[in-house]
Structure 1
Amino acid sequence: MKKIKTAIIGAAGYTGGELLRLLVHHPYCDLVYVHSNSQKGKKVIDVHPDLIGDTDLIFTDNVDTEGIDAVFLGLPHGETKGFLEKHHFSTDTVIIDLSTDFRDESNGFVYGLPEVNKPKIKTAKKIANPGCFATGIQLALAPAIAKGWVKDTVQISGITGSTGAGKKLAETSHFSYRTGNMSVYKLFTHQHLKEIKQTFGQLNPEFNQELLFVPYRGNFSRGIWITAYFSFDGELEEAKKVYKDFYHDAPFMHVSDLDIDMKQAVNTNKCILHIQKENGQLVIYSAIDNLLKGASGQAVQNLNLAFGLEETTGLNLKSIAF
């Protein structure tokens, strides 16, 4: 097939860098240009030195909307709306936004969680990529929500690596703060709860239970671990079957009968789940890579769906275990 002429707007950060690493090797993408106001004129390899030998691209602050088949927007939250008001892409251009701006499915955007919205994503021209915590939590609970099992408050805890805070320095992302340390932030008020509740309401219009989410900053660079649990009267084997059936056509979803750990998912586009039942509670563990399945990998997965490609194209990743 003809190569997909692709651009990245905001390619200097962690998610932009991950998009570059994926797209320079994507067999059906022609990465035309990479945009960055802060790094304009610099070689990509000067900012992302691990890409030496992979690309000769130079960052530009020019936005060329002509002839672009797909554009990824890696701008800071709150800036995408203004950017799209200023720069008008063709109605045939697939726009994939990685910010929070359109996750409410406003302005014609489709929420890009493939395991729930695959049919809509396949015909979409505007896709709002989910948040990282939101992805791990939704994939942990979606089958249970859809079955109507959740009758009471859901308890959720999640820990994320330091790359989840972005590349811009802040006190809580400094090595001296993060290493050997843990802390809670945005207790019960995390911004991803809004999009999570939106999806759960679509899966089950009667769902209105509380989601009590405790987010933790972890002392590692990448990965997300979610633990979610709720009261459950059914049998464990029933729950496992429901989960495996729900995700039967989701190539990156894996429901493991064995205990799991976060490193199984790091450096992959997988979400790996494990289910237990203890003391009348159904407990779901969910592991993803925050920069891949939680951001750039999922964005490329959405690109593949929107262009009719095999969902896993360019995403069969795993180079290290330790």
Structure 2
Amino acid sequence: MIKAGIIGGSGYTGGELIRILLNHPATEIDFVYSTTRAGQQVATAHPDLIGLLDLKFSNTVNLKVDVVFLCLGHGNSTAFLKEHQFSSGTKIIDLSNDFRLKADAHFDGKHFVYGLPELNKSQIEEAKYIANPGCFATAIQLALLPLAEAGLLENEVHINAITGSTGAGVSPSETSHFSWRNNNISWYKPFTHQHLGEINESLHSLQDNSGKLFFMPTRGNFTRGIFATCYSKFNGSLEDAKKLYANFYKNAAFTQLAEAPLHLKQVVNTNQCHLHLHKHEDMLLITSAIDNLLKGASGQAVHNMNLIFGLEEDLGLNLKAGVF
């Protein structure tokens, strides 16, 4: 059994990791670290686990676990790793943005591989340290990577993506509490969202001269999921585009091309990304839908763990959507 530790287990991504690993046939949760809830039952933060997990949050860390997941706020993973020296055999999967960019990938003798399996599967399989992609970044990259690999992202790309309130984290804020969020919608960080850096690096790794991205992130009045629409000029036919995408994702465990237009519920509570293509005149519209906490965070982290340890990619991740 793979012994796993979770750092920052009281938040949304930590909670999702606990739920997945609890039912993963090849893993055992060794500890769940939390500075705010040390000594309390894990179920006090995640009441859906009552009766399923008899484990308390810890304020100590086992530095010799097989794998540790860092579910900390952005900027905190670096500080945590400076204070806690894990064994040379411990694999580290970081869910923050601390190591995603190439300029940040080398830290304290460690090299973090960007953990998007559809792009870097072979590197992930050989890696010890993983920088898990951002949620918006995952949805948008999966929508655009096939075009970049074919050298067809020559023009600007316009992107609108709406995310649920869990994307803002568990700590309440003015724009995440119920009275503000319910029956409401708003944009934020227009054209400057922090995930653009990692998206551009991935696209440029496939096509140097890929077109500029114009990204409009939007807050939705629902709890989880990302629904992204991307469109750009495309000279080929719709069938050309479908063949391109089908070929790129032919061996992908969790990215599927759908014939019918998408809706968000078909991917929520799963580790799936569903894509749909639509052609209008000379424009190709790509729709991408994921669960921001699973394919956009914890599910993808476990997918990376499976690859690192030579397990089946979908082990522990065959999750069903709640469509109705």
The answer to whether the superposition gives a TM-score over 0.5 is yes
**1:189-220 superposed Cα distances (whole Å, 9 cap, x missing partner):** 0000000001011122332x210000000000
Give the TM-score of the pair, scaled to structure 2. 0.97
Conserved in 2, the CA contact under 8 Å of 1:274 and 1:284? yes
Matches within 5 A, 1:188-207: 188-207=191-210
Residue 54, structure 1, aligned to residue 81, structure 2: no
Of 4, 11, 14, which residue of structure 2 is paired with 1:13?
A: 11
Moved over 6 A (4+): none
Residue 158, structure 1, aligned to residue 156, structure 2: no
Q: Secondary structure at the match of 2:35?
A: coil
Q: Where does residue 42 of structure 2 map in the other structure?
A: 44
Q: Where does residue 186 of structure 1 map in the other structure?
A: 189
Q: Secondary structure at the match of 1:213?
A: strand
Matches within 5 A, 1:113-132: 113-132=116-135
Q: Where does residue 282 of structure 2 map in the other structure?
A: 280
Q: Secondary structure at the match of 1:172?
A: coil
Residue 111, structure 1, aligned to residue 110, structure 2: no
Matches within 5 A, 1:151-300: 151-207=154-210, 209-300=211-302
1:319 and 1:58 map into 2 onto residues whose CA distance is: 29
Conserved in 1, the CA contact under 8 Å of 2:278 and 2:284? yes
Q: Where does residue 21 of structure 2 map in the other structure?
A: 23
Conserved in 2, the CA contact under 8 Å of 1:91 and 1:125? no
2:254 and 2:75 map into 1 onto residues whose CA distance is: 30
Which letter does structure 1 place at the counterpart of 2:135? C
Which letter does structure 1 place at the counterpart of 2:14? G
**1:41-76 superposed Cα distances (whole Å, 9 cap, x missing partner):** 10001110101122111001112202x100000011
Q: Secondary structure at the match of 2:279?
A: strand
Residue 313, structure 1, aligned to residue 315, structure 2: yes
CA apart distance, 1:10: 0.4
Of 112, 136, 141, which residue of structure 2 is paired with 1:138?
A: 141
Q: Where does residue 77 of structure 2 map in the other structure?
A: 80
Q: Secondary structure at the match of 2:146?
A: helix
Q: Secondary structure at the match of 1:293?
A: coil
Conserved in 1, the CA contact under 8 Å of 2:4 and 2:67? yes
Conserved in 1, the CA contact under 8 Å of 2:189 and 2:217? yes
Structure 1 pair 298/97, CA: closer, same or farther in 2 (3 Å)?
A: same
Which letter does structure 2 place at the counterpart of 1:277? K
1:109 and 1:156 map into 2 onto residues whose CA distance is: 28
Q: Secondary structure at the match of 2:243?
A: helix
2:20 and 2:43 map into 1 onto residues whose CA distance is: 15
1:287 and 1:319 map into 2 onto residues whose CA distance is: 12
**1:130-151 superposed Cα distances (whole Å, 9 cap, x missing partner):** 0000000000000011111111
> In percent, how many aligned pairs have the same letter?
55
Q: Secondary structure at the match of 1:137?
A: helix
Q: Secondary structure at the match of 2:4?
A: strand
Which letter does structure 2 place at the counterpart of 1:38? T
1:104 and 1:151 map into 2 onto residues whose CA distance is: 23
Q: Secondary structure at the match of 1:267?
A: coil
Which letter does structure 1 place at the counterpart of 2:67? A
2:88 and 2:241 map into 1 onto residues whose CA distance is: 43
Structure 1 pair 228/34, CA: closer, same or farther in 2 (3 Å)?
A: same
1:230 and 1:305 map into 2 onto residues whose CA distance is: 33
Question: Which sits farther off after the overlay, 198-207 or 10-19?
Answer: 198-207
1:129 and 1:137 map into 2 onto residues whose CA distance is: 15
CA apart distance, 1:319: 5.1
1:308 and 1:245 map into 2 onto residues whose CA distance is: 24
Taking only aligned residues, the RMSD between alpha carbons, in angstroms, comes to 0.8
1:205 and 1:212 map into 2 onto residues whose CA distance is: 17
Give the TM-score of the pair, scaled to structure 1. 0.97
Q: Where does residue 65 of structure 1 map in the other structure?
A: 63
CA apart distance, 1:16: 0.4
2:155 and 2:2 map into 1 onto residues whose CA distance is: 46
2:3 and 2:235 map into 1 onto residues whose CA distance is: 51
Which letter does structure 1 place at the counterpart of 2:144? L
CA apart distance, 1:279: 2.4
